[in-house]
Amino acid sequence: MVAVAEVHRILDDYDHSSVSVATIGSHSALNIFKGAREEGFKTVCICKKGREKTYNRFGLVDDYIMIDDMNDTASEEVQEKLRELNSIVIPHGSFNAYIDQARMDEFRVPIMGNRTLLEVETSRVKQHDWMRSAGLKVPKIFESAKDIEELAFVKFPGAKGGKGYFVVDSEAAFKKKMKLMLKKNLITKEEAKNPYIQEYIIGVNAYPHYFHSPLRDETEFLGVDKRYESSVDGVFRIPVPEQIGQEISPTFSIVGNFPMVLRESLLDEIFDIGEKIVKESEKLAPPGLIGAFCLEAIIKEDLEIIAFEISSRIVAGCNALIGSSPYTYLMYNEPMYMGKRIAREIKEAVKEDKLKELVT
Ligand code: ATP
């Protein structure tokens, strides 16, 4: 892992009067670029050839660093350009997908966020332990398919955006579904060796977004989204008589997100959960969470909130709230959203000469 002291030395060489905000052209880049522009920063897009078309349409990019392949994101050449442009890199879901641990260890550019927690996020087991130690309610884990004795949710390694995941209620059903998923090429043989089996939580999915400000020492709740997942959200459009006998195996590939508001009585707990996660992160990987982080949760009929995933960075659901959310509207006297909140923190840090508090 690149030492924080080294990142700080790199930052010392930056021209702090012309800091730019950089990210990979994917996932929530438009959100990040818009926020950066609104706060007066130049924007840098690390962009796979062909993808610039999307970003040109919105006119939010000042400098492109073109790459042939997403795996080149951490090449020496790209890093050099990023440093020349005094870039602070904002990690998002694609950043985590393309910069694996080995590459992260070679990535000598300041990242807004905690590198150790970005790594924790790549392990379901570590995420689960983090949430449980923080005092959150989490789903039960089944060590093996033999232990399945109630509705269980089967996932596969890596953040696959729900592709190929399925629900079963017994070992026999598990074996049958596994065969079907392999046959349909929804999972690979390699993936099939490592299923991660959780208790299936029945309830309403809600994905809250938070921002932890090291400068203000405060955890803000910025908004919450829900997801459209295919095919599970489409199955119920088929009349029941037609569903029967079809062998439909709903999967959970994410297609999009939509904004949500929660009943007001849940808000206190939503804030508490965010604060608990931050407190635990300080023990887990000092100085703890920096900036955006988000949870995936299911709210049960008794209003218990069960958390099943954590992201130590911006999530794509924040894109549903570009501009404002009901909660940022209540808290700020101006439009506010994740990309802008990130840039606002950088702006304040530049002003107070505290950029080192935001990067690792
Ligand atoms: P991403 O990284 O995009 O979040 P992922 O591959 O890590 O995706 P999950 O988010 O863990 O996958 O799961 C995908 C979807 O499956 C969730 O959005 C939710 O709808 C459903 N889901 C996940 N875990 C459970 C659970 N324990 N009980 C019920 N539904 C679940």
Atom of ligand 1 nearest to the CA of 232: 20
CATH ID of 4-112+349-357, from 3.40.50.20, 3.90.1150.10, 3.40.50.720, 1.10.10.1150: 3.40.50.20
User: Ligand 1 centre from 162 Cα, in Å?
Assistant: 6
DSSP string, 184-228: TTSS-HHHHTS-EEEEPPPSEEEEEEEEEETTTTEEEEEEEEEEE
Residue 9 host element (H or E): helix 4-12
Does the beta carbon of 204 lie inside 6 Å of ligand 1?
Answer: no
Does the beta carbon of 37 lie inside 6 Å of ligand 1?
Answer: no
Q: What is the pLDDT of residue 248?
A: 77
Fold identical between 4-112+349-357 and 124-136+202-336? no
Closest CA to 33 of 53, 57, 62, 11: 62
User: Ligand 1 centre from 149 Cα, in Å?
Assistant: 20
Pocket test for ligand 1, best of 137, 298, 301, 306 (most atoms within 8 A of CB): 298
Rg of the chain, C-alpha, whole Å:
21
Does the beta carbon of 142 lie inside 6 Å of ligand 1?
Answer: no
pLDDT in tens, the chain (360 residues): 788 999 999 999 999 999 999 999 999 999 999 999 999 999 999 999 999 999 999 999 999 999 999 989 999 999 999 999 999 999 999 998 888 888 888 999 999 999 999 999 889 999 999 999 999 999 999 999 999 999 999 998 876 767 788 999 999 999 999 998 999 888 999 999 999 999 999 999 999 999 999 999 999 999 999 999 998 899 888 888 888 877 777 888 889 999 999 999 999 999 999 999 999 999 999 999 999 999 999 999 999 999 999 999 999 999 999 999 999 999 998 999 999 999 999 999 999 999 999 999
- By alpha-carbon position, which residue is closest to atom 1 of ligand 1? 161
Does the beta carbon of 139 lie inside 6 Å of ligand 1?
Answer: yes
Q: Are strands 87-89 and 63-67 parallel, antiparallel or unpaired?
A: unpaired
Residue the block writes with tokens 């398919």: 145
Q: What is the pLDDT of residue 159?
A: 64
CB 40 within 8 A of CB 55: no
Does the beta carbon of 203 lie inside 6 Å of ligand 1?
Answer: no
Does the beta carbon of 160 lie inside 6 Å of ligand 1?
Answer: yes
8-state DSSP, 111: B
CATH topology of domain 141-199: Dna Ligase; domain 1 (3.30.1490)
What superfamily does domain 124-136+202-336 belong to in CATH?
ATP-grasp fold, B domain (3.30.470.20)
Does the beta carbon of 200 lie inside 6 Å of ligand 1?
Answer: yes
Q: What is the pLDDT of residue 218?
A: 98
Q: What is the pLDDT of residue 204?
A: 96
Report the predicted TM-score, pTM, of the whole model to 2 decimal places: 0.95
- By alpha-carbon position, which residue is closest to atom 3 of ligand 1? 161
Q: What is the pLDDT of residue 353?
A: 97
Q: What is the pLDDT of residue 245?
A: 78
Does the beta carbon of 167 lie inside 6 Å of ligand 1?
Answer: no
Rounded CA separation 125/350 (Å): 36
Question: 3-state DSSP call for residue 75?
Answer: coil
User: Ligand 1 centre from 25 Cα, in Å?
Assistant: 24
Domain range summary for the chain, segments of one domain joined by +: 4-112+349-357, 124-136+202-336, 141-199
Sign of CA dihedral 312, 317, 319, 322: negative
Q: What is the pLDDT of residue 327?
A: 98
Helices (H), the chain: 4-12, 29-38, 52-58, 76-84, 93-98, 101-104, 115-120, 124-133, 171-183, 189-192, 232-235, 240-243, 267-284, 326-331, 338-352
- In a 13 Å sphere around the CA of 196, the CA atoms on its Cβ side amount to 19
